[in-house]
Every structure is written in structure tokens, then in C-alpha cells.
């Protein structure tokens, strides 16, 4: 009898490669810890609960302030330098109860970024019976 072994490392590498291919195809650029859909004052620090997190602003009065930010260890806002293009997608992190929420960049130029929220409904985690 010939023993057949599965090379788990090769299998996992192949899965990761497929995931990266799909992410590039749909324009997935990452996961944010929090998304603010109300205007925020980026000159004021955030409370400690939001420190060292990645956030998305979608409803700023000044549309050029919309976008991705890194909140540092003092609560200060730092714009994340990313190459964005229309169609890019970010997701809310899995620790968020609304983990099937996504945001799509629908318009970008030097003066503004417009992000549109959407949900993927009908996608439930696998149920173990």
C-alpha cells in the first residue's frame, strides 16, 4: 500500500495565491477597524479606544479629508498613503458586529474621495452541524 501525503504548505500557499489574485481583481485594499459615516474633526485626537487603529472617513464636509487614516498611539490622525482608484474596496474588521459591511471608492480626484457603503447579504459563516 502506498501512503499518500498531502503537502499542507503547498496547499496553503496555493490558497493564499488565489486569495491575493481575487483581492487584486476586485480591488480589495484592506480591512479597517472602524468607519466613520459622520463628520469628524481630524484636528482633535480620538479617545484611547481608537488608538493604533485604521479608520475610514466617508462623510467629511471637506471631501478631500475623506479616506483612510492611521490613528497613532496618541490618538492623532495620519493619512495613509495608498494608491487608490475608483472601485477599490475596504472591509470593516471581523471584530466588528457588522463584519459584512464594505465600502467602495466610487470617485477620487485631488479635491475629493467619495466612499459608498454596501453589504454582502446572504453570506453566512459555515454552519457546523
The predicted pLDDT at position 61 comes to 94
Task: Give a yes or no: residue 102 inside a domain.
Answer: yes
Task: Give a yes or no: residue 1 inside a domain.
Answer: no
Q: Which helix (H) or strand (E) holds 91?
A: strand 89-92
The predicted pLDDT at position 103 comes to 92
Task: Give a yes or no: residue 126 inside a domain.
Answer: no
pLDDT, averaged in runs of 10, over the chain (129 residues): 76 78 69 94 95 95 94 95 86 68 89 86 48
Structurally, the chain folds into a number of domains equal to 1
Answering whether pTM is above 0.75, one says: no
Task: Give a yes or no: residue 129 inside a domain.
Answer: no
The predicted pLDDT at position 81 comes to 85
Burial class (CB in 10 A: 0-12, 13-18, 19+), 8: exposed
Task: Give a yes or no: residue 127 inside a domain.
Answer: no
The predicted pLDDT at position 83 comes to 82
Amino acid at each position: 500500500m502506498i501512503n499518500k501525503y498531502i503537502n499542507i504548505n503547498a496547499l496553503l500557499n496555493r490558497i493564499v495565491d488565489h486569495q491575493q489574485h481575487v483581492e487584486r481583481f476586485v480591488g480589495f485594499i484592506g480591512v479597517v477597524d472602524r468607519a466613520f459615516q459622520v463628520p469628524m474633526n481630524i484636528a482633535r485626537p480620538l479617545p484611547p479606544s481608537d488608538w493604533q487603529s485604521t479608520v475610514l472617513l466617508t462623510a467629511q464636509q471637506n471631501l478631500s479629508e475623506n479616506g483612510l487614516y492611521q490613528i497613532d498611539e496618541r490618538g492623532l490622525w495620519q493619512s495613509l498613503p495608498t494608491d487608490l482608484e475608483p472601485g477599490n474596496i475596504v472591509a470593516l474588521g471581523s471584530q466588528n458586529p457588522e463584519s459584512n459591511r464594505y465600502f467602495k471608492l466610487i470617485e477620487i480626484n485631488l479635491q475629493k474621495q467619495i466612499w459608498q457603503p454596501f453589504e454582502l447579504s446572504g453570506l453566512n459563516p459555515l454552519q457546523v452541524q
